[in-house]
Structure formats: C-alpha cells, structure tokens
C-alpha cells in the first residue's frame, strides 16, 4: 500500500489478507483501500523513534555485518520516497492460499525454459510475460511471476540456538526460552524478553503472547524492572501490560487497534460477535462471552479503544445493552463514565 507507481503481486498462505489480526469481514473492508491510488495524507506517527546520535547531520556509515540494529518496526517507510522509476499506476494482485516454492535468478529461469505470467489484468486471462526480469518467483499454486525484487514477510521464530549450547534452558512448545512471571528463565540470574521467550505463567483471561514489537518492548521494560528488584531484594507486581492484550498499528493508512481475545482465541464456540461497519470509514468487531466483552478489533478513527479497554478489563455484564453497545447514534462513553 505504501509503495507508489508499482505493480505488486501479494502471495498469501491464507484465504484473506492480514489473517494474523483480521477475520474475512475485516479483510473485505480493507481491500478497496489496497487497490485504490494512495493519495491520502499519512496518519501522524506519535510513536517514540530511535535514531543513531548525529545521524541527521551526517551520512550514516555502512553497518558492519556483526553490528546489531533494532527491528524496522511499523514506521520503516517514514521519510522514504517509495515510488517506482517507471510510470506505472499503483496496482495490487493477490494470490491466495499459496506460498513461495522457489526463487529463480534470471539465468536460472532462462535455462528452465518455463513461462512466466504477465501482471493479471481485470477480467482477462493471464497472458505469458514478454519482459525479462531480474528474479522470478515460483508459487506453490504453479504460477511463476517475474519481478524486480521480493519482500518476504515470513513471521517470527525464536532464535534460541546460540544460547542452548552448553546450557540447560527449559524451552516452550513454540521454541522460546520459558520465562516465569518475573521474566526469569530456568537458569538462575538469567532473564529473557521479547521474541526469544515463551511466557509460561498462567496468563490473564484477556492476554496472550504474540511476537510483536509492542509486546517485546513491554517485556523488555518489565524484565529490567525485575532485574533491579531482584538485585535490591524487593518484590515486584506483574506489569499491568500483561493484564490486557493491546496492539496499535496502521494498515493501509487506517488506525488499527486490537484488544484482548480479538479473534476469540481460545474461547471455542461459546462466544458471540457484534459488528459495526461503515464502508471506507470504520470497522468495529466485538467478541462477547456470557454477556462480557472479551476482545475487539477497531479499524479507523473510532475513538472507542479507551472505553472498550475498560469494559474488557472490568468484565462488566453488558447483556442489558444488547446491540446498543455498537449503535453509532449512542455515545456509549456516557453509559460507563
């Protein structure tokens, strides 16, 4: 979405885009924005930014291969001109239920004597591509597309191997180093936080671990507090950020807030969904169980996040409010102030 003047082929392994955060309904709400020309004013970034000291005054040196840097985060494109050199209009084609099978360099592809496909045109059969590309992608659905470059978003796997040799760490089912509610690993005086660890304490009913930059930051702060408390022999309460799962990000220039069990994670069939959608403006989904709010997805400038955070945390019985809970003509903040 952020790139202009380019044709993008998006291969996803799921049935709909953004499967980590969105159900099919939310994905359907977002699709028109994805395929439209990006002519909007970007949402102002209010997050803390980390820079190398003096980097704005002088050209940043090329980092050595052994130097560590921070993750790019969601604002990686800030200040960059992401416009193709050729005069293309912004187009996105989505290939669903597939993954990258193999990547071929140009010479390898020529030797294969296979046919690649041109960028699909609306309501037309896909035609063979006459252009010679620097790299080719073969998908598991059998299609091959040529392109200038590939962006791979493959998710996160805990990289624990450097720490396991010679150490007897307890490891979770997802491969992370197990930590207790004070971020201790199974070895004395060693702590872990962020993507590398697996939370092994009994979580709050509306919190779960996800390997996201927001959660890594929260864990890092909390781990530092725990280290200091242990050194001073003081007790420390579990950080408030582990009471409620909350993540704020931006998707196709929409503000996106996900709260609690936003996709009914672990709730089984014993839950209900309430929806409110205004095309091109907002999408609100609430997950209810036994009359109590367990999670929510808020897309757009809904101004509901603070109220919903409190309702999820307080576990108030909302049965009496019924569908009025999402009635756009009622300011529900008035109910709960």
pLDDT 10s digits, 151-209: 988 888 999 999 999 999 999 999 999 999 999 999 999 999 999 999 999 999 999 99
Strand-pairing partners, residue 103, are 137
What element of type H or E holds 229?
Answer: helix 213-232
CB 175 within 8 A of CB 192: no
26 and 19 Cβ atoms separated by less than 8 Å: no
- Give the up-direction half-sphere exposure of residue 258: CA atoms within 13 A in the CB hemisphere: 23
**How many CB atoms sit inside 10 A of residue 206's CB?**
23
Whole-number CA gyration radius for the chain: 23
CA distances from 254 to 3, 21, 37, 196, 298 (A): 16, 14, 15, 30, 10
Closest alpha carbon to 313 in 246, 243, 263: 243
Sign, CA torsion 257/242/23/294: negative
Higher pLDDT: 188 or 6? It is: 188
Residue 51 has pLDDT above 60, yes or no: no
Domain edges within the chain: 160-242, 246-335
Give Cα 174 to chain centroid, integer Å: 18
- Quickly state the pLDDT bin for 82 (edges 50, 70, 90): low
Residue predicted with more confidence, 335 or 145? 145
DSSP state string for 73-103: -TTTTTT---B-SS-PPPEEEEE-S--EEEE
Query: CA 190, 196, 202, 204 torsion: positive or negative?
Result: positive
Closest C-alpha to 26, from 282, 313, 287, 318: 282
Structure tokens that stand for 38 in this block: 């990006």
Supply 266's token pair. 């672990």
Q: Confidence band (pLDDT; 50, 70, 90) for 57?
A: very low
How many angstroms separate the CA atoms of 110 and 118, rounded?
Answer: 16
Each residue's pLDDT tens digit, 264-289: 998 988 899 999 999 999 999 999 99
Topology of domain 160-242, per CATH?
A: FAD/NAD(P)-binding domain (3.50.50)
What is the distance between the alpha carbons of residues 192 and 170, in angstroms, rounded to a whole number?
A: 12
Q: Write out the two tokens for 203.
A: 């979580």
CB 270 within 8 A of CB 291: no
Burial bucket for residue 4 (CB in 10 Å: 0-12, 13-18, 19+): middle
- 3-state SS assignment for residue 145: strand
Domains 160-242 and 246-335 share a fold: no
Place 46 in a pLDDT band, splitting at 50, 70 and 90.
low
Residue 219 has pLDDT above 90, yes or no: yes
Name the nearest CA neighbour of 285 among 27, 9, 49, 32: 27
CATH architecture observed for domain 246-335: 2-Layer Sandwich (3.30)
Give the mean model confidence (pLDDT) for residues 1-25. Answer: 87
> What's the whole-number average pLDDT of the chain?
86
pLDDT, tens digit (0-9, with 9 covering 90-100), for 84-138 = 666 667 788 999 999 999 999 999 999 999 999 999 987 666 789 889 999 999 9
């Amino acid at each position: 979405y952020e790139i202009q003047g380019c044709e993008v082929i998006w291969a996803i392994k799921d049935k709909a885009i953004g499967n980590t955060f969105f159900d099919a309904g939310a994905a359907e709400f977002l699709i028109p924005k994805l395929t439209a020309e990006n002519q909007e004013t970007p949402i102002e970034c209010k997050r803390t930014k980390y820079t190398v000291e003096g980097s704005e005054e002088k050209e940043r040196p090329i980092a050595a291969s052994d130097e560590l840097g921070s993750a790019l985060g969601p604002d990686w494109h800030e200040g960059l001109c992401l416009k193709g050199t050729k005069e293309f209009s912004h187009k996105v084609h989505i290939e669903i239920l597939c993954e990258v099978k193999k990547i071929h360099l140009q010479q390898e592809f020529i030797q294969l004597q296979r046919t690649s496909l041109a960028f699909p045109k609306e309501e037309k059969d896909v035609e063979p591509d006459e252009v010679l590309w620097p790299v080719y992608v073969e998908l598991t659905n059998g299609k091959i597309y040529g392109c200038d470059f590939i962006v791979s978003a493959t998710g996160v796997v805990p990289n624990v191997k450097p720490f396991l040799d010679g150490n007897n760490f307890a490891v979770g089912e997802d491969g992370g180093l197990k930590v207790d509610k004070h971020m201790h690993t199974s070895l004395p005086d060693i702590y872990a936080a962020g993507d590398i660890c697996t939370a092994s304490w009994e979580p709050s009913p509306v919190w779960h671990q996800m390997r996201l930059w927001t959660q890594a930051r929260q864990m890092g702060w909390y781990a530092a507090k725990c280290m200091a408390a242990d050194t001073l022999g003081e007790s420390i309460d579990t950080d408030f950020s582990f009471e409620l799962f909350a993540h704020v990000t931006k998707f196709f220039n929409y503000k996106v807030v996900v709260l609690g069990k936003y996709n009914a994670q672990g709730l089984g069939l014993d839950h209900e969904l309430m929806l409110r959608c205004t095309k091109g403006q907002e999408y609100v989904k609430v997950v209810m169980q036994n009359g109590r709010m367990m999670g929510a997805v808020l897309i757009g400038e809904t101004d509901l996040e603070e109220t919903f955070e409190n309702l999820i945390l307080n576990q108030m019985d909302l049965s009496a409010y019924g569908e009025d809970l999402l009635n756009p003509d009622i300011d529900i903040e008035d109910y709960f102030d």
